[in-house]
Amino acid sequence: MNIAVFASHGGSDLQAIIDGCKNEQINATVTVVISNNGNSMALQRAKNENIPSFHMSAKKYGSEEVLATEILNVLNQYNVDMIFLAGYMRLLHISILEKYNNRIFNIHPALLPKFGGKGMFGMNVHTAVIKAKEKETGVTIHRVNAEYDSGEIVAQTKVAVMENDTPEVLAERVLYREHEFLIEVISNIANGKIQLG
């Protein structure tokens, strides 16, 4: 299974996926990395691993339509079977959603459908969880559709919220769990337990 990872910032989830493939916990290969952010650590991580990587944004190509066509060309060129959004801060164009129907997944740092949707990213999520006095939060991996965080949930895992947690401390605990959980879930996609469309 050839995976394309899309990421906008730090790329620690990307790194977990790359490492899981390299040490054969996941029976797949990250064949290409795409970022809308030319300065992202994610692109740097791909370069460090000699994985082809591309900075692709609507700003760079002039429109969402041209961007989508260019992304589809890259996905085709690298024979991509599955797309994983690992901290990718953009919605995907309908042409990409249609072509890779059921084959696009996102990771979200909370137990969806709670704490999801537009604006619910990064520290905003963990701040909202603490404010709501939740006793537990977690990680959700779901299929991607045309709205933020609303596609079919394929896997969830829980993470405890401690009494004195700050959003930063909680974020770190959740991210740590993400790195383990990504390996479990993507290997289940690669071995067919979670089906591609």
Q: Give me the least distance between CB of 40 and ligand GRF, in Å please.
A: 8
Contact present, 4 and 34 (Cβ < 8 Å): yes
Tokens encoding 11: 């790329």
Question: Cα–Cα distance between 189 and 15 in angstroms, integer?
Answer: 18
Question: Residue number with the shortest CB distance to ligand GRF?
Answer: 87
Q: Does the annotation mark 55 as catalytic?
A: no
**Where in 61-100 is the site for ligand GRF (CB under 6 A)?**
86-87
- Does position 183 interact with ligand GRF (CB under 6 A)? The reply is no
State how far the Cα of 117 lies from the Cα of 161, in Å rounded to an integer: 21
Q: Which is nearer to ligand GRF, 20 or 87 (CB)?
A: 87
With respect to ligand GRF, which residue has the nearer C-beta, 58 or 89?
89
Torsion sign, CA atoms 165, 136, 7, 120? negative
Is residue 107 a contact residue for ligand GRF (CB under 6 A)? yes
Q: Binding to ligand GRF by residue 109, rule CB under 6 A? A: yes
Interface segment toward ligand GRF; rule CB under 6 A; list 27-35, 105-113, 146-154, 155-163 = 105-113
Question: What is the Cα–Cα distance from 130 to 136, expressed in whole angstroms?
Answer: 9
70: β partners = none
Considering the rule CB under 6 A, would residue 30 count as an interface residue with ligand GRF?
no
Question: How would you class 69 by CB atoms within 10 Å of its CB: exposed for 0-12, middle for 13-18, buried for 19 or more?
Answer: middle
Site for ligand GRF in 159-178 (CB under 6 A): 175, 178
d(CA 87, CA 66) in angstroms, rounded, equals: 22
Rounded Cα gap, residues 22 and 42, in angstroms: 17
Catalytic residue selected from 9, 55, 93, 108 = 108
3 in contact with ligand GRF (CB under 6 A): no
Nearer to ligand GRF, 81 or 178 (CB): 178
For the chain, helix (H) and strand (E) counts, in that order, are 7, 7
Enumerate binding residues for ligand GRF (CB under 6 A).
Answer: 7, 9-14, 86-87, 107-109, 175, 178
Catalytic residues: 108
